[in-house]
Structure 1
Amino acid sequence: MKNACIIEISYIDPESYVSLANHDLRKEILKTLYRRALNSPISKQELAESIGVNYHQLVYQLNNHLKEFWTVGSEKKVRGTRMELIEPLHRNAIFITLGKENTIYLVDPLAGLFGSLARVGTRCDFCTEEEAKKCLEFIKNCSCASTINKIETEILIRNKRKQPFRPIDHAIVCALRGISKGEKCVITIPCENCAYINRFVKIEGLTGC
């Protein structure tokens, strides 16, 4: 299941979030990297051309401000020299951080969502209620994310999330529980069941399952 919808919620520190969310080029670099390298790594030159920026400008941002988000996936020889092919360090990651009064901020590079949960929502919001219900069947198999208590419900509602909650809402709650332990929440939904991934793959012209 190459393009399974793997929801991997990780915590990002507030400083890293602000540095990213308030910088349009960094957001564009991450979004393009996560999409172009969904199935296989790409060269920095390819990434720069896709974004339409100078190669050295891209490398500066990658090395100085985005190094926690990417890694070298492989290398290949080009005219006697080694060229690095890069990919997301965690290709399925959706990052969250907490602000004042339990405000949740989200970074979902693949979906191109950067901002407060109340403002940008989640990738699951692109799906219909019926599609979301199918995905929630897989959530039931996750002991951590299957239930949301009263306090957690209040936090989600404060962040403008509406019931019935979507799969990523459940995963966010699961991840919030694990912050103190440094744990993340990972939920896998087969791509034949994930309407968002299916639409995304079709729009981007990527290879399916």
Structure 2
Amino acid sequence: MGCLIRAKYIDPEICIKVLNHRLRQKILHKLEVETIEKPITKKELADALGIGYSELLYQLNNQLKGFWKVKEERKKRGAHEEFIVPSSPNTVYVMLGEGATIYVLDPLANMFGKMSNGTRCDDCSNSQKVKCLERTRSEKCFSFTPEEKRRQERLFSANNRPDAPTPMDRIIGCVALKSLEGDECAVEVYEAECHFLKRIRASSKKEKRSSGSSNPVSI
């Protein structure tokens, strides 16, 4: 099964709003995990987070409005229920800051901060990283000129990620390098071989079984 990982540049003001706010990070992560299989209502998301419904609405509508969208609406007892999903599932958001510092928002991995702190691929074995690097090496978005490659190498060194040891490093570096052009990067990985995605799915299923929760809507 293929799984598309997207990466895109994010406006610094929006990025900082998330980096400096733990609740917003929790909301983005929970939204990703809870909607892996199907959309979720805002009330269900608030319950999963353990916060008030009005508090969630404020964050979604005022601080995080670009990160989610309504997947579908259903009428229930005369009222409309909105089922929401991430606006761009499994997306890593990248910001290039002062001194060539790269900041990353990876909601699915629950990683928010400097690239130098690590990426979602870091827990994989070296053999797994090599295998994934070989698969992504042929992706169109990694076709750089010699000068672009040198610039990217300098970016990696500035962020303590020399030699781009993981596929996610390459994806993030691609977006950071092309940030001024506004280009995005999209890479398809084989989910059956991606240990990170398998862990996320297994953890999500286990949590849903233990809570006994179910979502009545199917995609």
Above 0.5 in TM-score? yes
Q: How many residues align?
A: 204
1:13 paired residue number: 11
Unaligned ranges ≥5, structure 2 = 209-219
Are the structure 2 counterparts of residues 146 and 166 from structure 1 closer, same or farther at C-alpha, using a change threshold of 3 Å? farther
Alpha-carbon deviation of 1:164? 5.3
2:119 paired residue number: 122
Note the 1:84-163 alignment, pairs <5 A.
84-119=82-117, 121-145=118-142, 149-163=149-163
Q: Secondary structure of 1:175's partner?
A: helix
What amino acid is aligned across from residue 151 of structure 1 in structure 2?
R
1:196 paired residue number: 196
Are the structure 2 counterparts of residues 98 and 28 from structure 1 closer, same or farther at C-alpha, using a change threshold of 3 Å? same
Deviates more, 1:72-81 or 1:61-70: 72-81
Q: Is the counterpart of residue 167 in structure 1 residue 164 in structure 2?
A: no
Q: Distance in 1 between matches of 2:182 and 2:122?
A: 27
Note the 1:16-31 alignment, pairs <5 A.
16-31=14-29
What amino acid is aligned across from residue 45 of structure 2 in structure 1?
L
Normalising by structure 1, we get a TM-score of: 0.91
Q: Secondary structure of 1:90's partner?
A: coil
What percentage of aligned pairs have identical amino acids? 37
Unaligned ranges ≥5, structure 1 = none
Alpha-carbon deviation of 1:162? 3.8
What amino acid is aligned across from residue 124 of structure 1 in structure 2?
C
Q: Secondary structure of 1:17's partner?
A: helix
Normalising by structure 2, we get a TM-score of: 0.87
Q: Secondary structure of 1:107's partner?
A: strand
Q: Distance in 1 between matches of 2:30 and 2:200?
A: 13
Alpha-carbon deviation of 1:181? 2.2
Q: Distance in 1 between matches of 2:162 and 2:124?
A: 14
> Which one of 57, 60, 85 corresponds to residue 58 of structure 2?
60
CA contact (8 A) 1:139 1:146 kept: no
Note the 1:171-190 alignment, pairs <5 A.
171-190=171-190
CA contact (8 A) 2:121 2:166 kept: yes
Deviates more, 1:163-172 or 1:15-24: 163-172
Q: Is the counterpart of residue 37 in structure 1 residue 43 in structure 2?
A: no
Q: Distance in 2 between matches of 1:169 and 1:9?
A: 11
CA contact (8 A) 2:102 2:176 kept: no
